[in-house]
Amino acid sequence: MDRLDGAARLLIVSDLDFTMVDHLDPENLSLLRFNALWEAFYRDNSLLVFSTGRSPTSYKQLKIKKPLLTPDVTIMSVGTEIMYGESMVPDAEWESYLNQKWNRDVVTGETAKFPELTPQPEIDQRPHKVSFYVEKDKAMKVMKDLAECLEKYGLDVKIVYSSGIALDVLPQRAGKGQALAYLLKKFEAKGRVPSNTLVCGDSGNDAELFTVPAVHGVMVSNAQEELLEWCSENARNSHQITHATERCAAGIIQAIGTFSLGPNVSPRDIQDFLKCTDEICNPGHEVVKFYLYYERWRRGEVERSDHFINNLRLLFNSLGTFVHPSGIEIPFSQCIDVLANSYGDQLGKQFRVWVDRVSVAQICSDTWLVKFDKCELCGPM
């Protein structure tokens, strides 16, 4: 959260499964489009938060399978865990806050008396989250009876039903919306309230996000009926909530444009990079473009010609130096020569490239140091 010197230009808070990540998109194109947009235009002055029902272990498994960027904050287990940065440092203050009027042993003991509830796998059970599956036609009665039962023990709990099957029992103080409100209070205490906040979701456990004051919200086009109905009945600021016509990450990009929150054309959507320019010097943008060139050249998606390589030399300073993670320094012109000889070597393969954690520092009037993680996905189509 302290990565930026001042307030974030934009804070995006997004659910993962079927919001940021489209599991019906085997090539992950909408997610890769978002990645390119974020790293080119937002990484240096904005903050990215993933808010998911997944446990830390399940989240890490997803990161192995999908080309997810590194968020600044990860809210997991339906708002019961908050972690910061790549190393995922837990927020101990939040954990202590949730302990009030919560007793996990009582919750597990009482829920065991409901035969309608089928426990979710152990990987999804957390200190402040007890999770089950329940059939949709039985969910409402179970939630009512269980809430009355736990109230007799003096517990203050919240029962969240989502995706037409998943039921989570949490402390009343927990939840995606409560966790976001907590983060915003921390920003306010430091005088760093984000200029704009965009929350993104698709299911019932995302509903709380839309209740946080002064946020913009997007329900992606594939949002479930439970979320659409909730927003229709409960949303106070409906003019600040949009139902995108695009799925998942593509819907998030669309919402950035709908609310005029900043650039919303991903470099990945530009075919002619000579037309893909930023109004001000933006080395991070150039790095994103270079690796899109790199991907398309190796996939054989552009014409093999000296003209293409010469355009590349014009766009990227030939005096630049690439520093390999090993410490070896390579002139940028040499990198382009190597690229010229690798045309089409990934033809017919599911080869994709994205950059993550792009950071830029100007070290003199005409020289910038750009650090980033380069990631590749390669496999058969």
What pLDDT does residue 27 have? 93
Q: Where in the chain is the domain with CATH 3.90.1070.10?
A: 101-171
318 — pLDDT class (breaks 50, 70, 90):
low
Full-model pTM: 0.92
Q: How many residues does the chain have?
A: 381
| Mean pLDDT of the 303-309 span | 84
CA–CA separation, 346 vs 276, rounded Å?
24
- Contact in structure between 343 and 298 (CB atoms under 8 Å): yes
Look at residue 17 and tell me whether its pLDDT is greater than 60: yes
Average pLDDT across the chain, whole number: 92
Q: Where in the chain is the domain with CATH 3.10.450.50?
A: 270-377
- Contact in structure between 80 and 129 (CB atoms under 8 Å): yes
What pLDDT does residue 321 have? 87
What pLDDT does residue 55 have? 94
Look at residue 85 and tell me whether its pLDDT is greater than 60: yes
Convert 317-344 to b/e letters by CB count within 10 Å (16 or more is b): eeebeeeeeeeeeeebeebbeebeeebe
CA–CA separation, 316 vs 297, rounded Å?
16
Could you tell me the CA-to-CA distances from 301 to 35, 115, 298, 305, 358 in Å, in that order? 20, 56, 8, 12, 25
CATH, domain 101-171, list 3.40.50.2000, 1.10.1740.10, 3.40.50.300, 3.90.1070.10: 3.90.1070.10
Sign of dihedral through CA atoms 58, 62, 64, 68?
negative
**CATH homologous superfamily of domain 11-90+174-266?**
HAD superfamily/HAD-like (3.40.50.1000)
Classify 270-377 by CATH class: alpha beta
What pLDDT does residue 276 have? 54
Sign of dihedral through CA atoms 270, 273, 279, 284?
positive
